Chain A
Amino acid sequence: MGFGLVLAAFAGAMVALQTIFNNRTDVHMGSWATTTWVLGMGFIASLACSLIFEGGRTFDLQNMKLWYAFSGLIGVGVVICLVLGVKILGPTFSVSVTLTSQLGFALLFDSMGWLGLEKVAFDWKQLAGVAIIVAGIYVFKFGGKKKTEPPELQASAFKTL
């Protein structure tokens, strides 16, 4: 349990840094050029890690199914949705809705066991926990925060937080 939590927290910290860096890149390049750049870098880094840690097994893809190749399109869908969400609702409201939906679907995926996940029996503690986290998100996002952000940062698509 502890190890998994640490890994998840580490991923979250990296996502926060990456979001800030992407935001800085977006200012000069725009959302799609930034997305292209970020995914290109991610691809190169992943390939390098794969070659280092897996060696020749990197290209051992006989278990590959066709849909795996298309799964990468989900990330592009994420960018489209977030860009439009932020444009219409502004970052604060839009991000709050996105985080809520992320958690809601996490609970749904666990209890349904979709995509071959180990099914986690739904229990009310999980729902209560998620509800409390969501409440925390809204307090965090909407609680009086004096922010004086330059307009060029506000216009960015990478306002995940």
Chain B
Amino acid sequence: MIRGIIFAFLGGACITLQGVANARISEDIGTWQAATVTQLTGFVMALLIYLFVKDGDLGGFRKVKPLYLAGGAFGAVIIYSEVTAIQTIGVTFTISALLIAQLCVTFLIDTFGGFGRPKSKMGAPQFIGLALMIGGVLVMKL
């Protein structure tokens, strides 16, 4: 239990650190270049881990719809937008707006179904949750 919380916590810390590091690197070599360099390193490392743990099957991509396979390419615009946002409005506002939009889109897709996901009923708690989150950003802007 505690171990799980520590992993989840470190994961969150790393996600934010990644955004900030990308913003820092972008200042020196350019944003697209930063996205290229960091994802190349990540790709090589992930490949090594995959070859080491032999968990799953890279050849399984034949069974995946091309649209889903192309999702990885979003990484380029995600990094570019996040870095530019961090440089303009700071880390806290960027992460807040990013998370709210992320939850809203997942919420919409789950409400209407799509992309092979089952429809799920979203209730009052989810609306209240989103409203609170948007309220939080407004409080920060006061």
Specify the main secondary structure of chain A where it touches its partner. helix
User: How many Å lie between the Cα of A127 and that of B141 in the bound state?
Assistant: 12
Pair A13/B102 contact, Cβ less than 8 Å: yes
Pair A69/B136 contact, Cβ less than 8 Å: no
Pair B105/A17 contact, Cβ less than 8 Å: yes
Interface size class of B (residues with CB under 8 A): 35 or more
Closest Cβ–Cβ distance, residue B90 to chain A (whole Å): 5
Pair A46/B39 contact, Cβ less than 8 Å: yes
Q: Considering residues B28, B45, B71, B117, which has the most beta carbons from chain A within 10 angstroms of its beta carbon?
A: B71
Closest to A32 in B: B50
Interface size class of A (residues with CB under 8 A): 35 or more
Closest to A28 in B: B60
Pair B18/A75 contact, Cβ less than 8 Å: yes
Closest Cβ–Cβ distance, residue B127 to chain A (whole Å): 9
**Interface residues in chain B, defined as those with a beta carbon under 8 Å from any beta carbon in chain A:** 1, 3-5, 7-18, 20-25, 27-30, 32-43, 45-47, 49-50, 53, 55-58, 60-61, 63-65, 67-82, 84-86, 88-106, 109-110, 115-118, 120-126, 128-142
**Interface residues in chain A, defined as those with a beta carbon under 8 Å from any beta carbon in chain B:** 1, 3-5, 7-22, 24-25, 28-50, 53-54, 57-58, 60-61, 63-65, 68-82, 84-89, 93-95, 97-107, 109-110, 114-118, 120, 125-126, 128-150, 153, 160-161
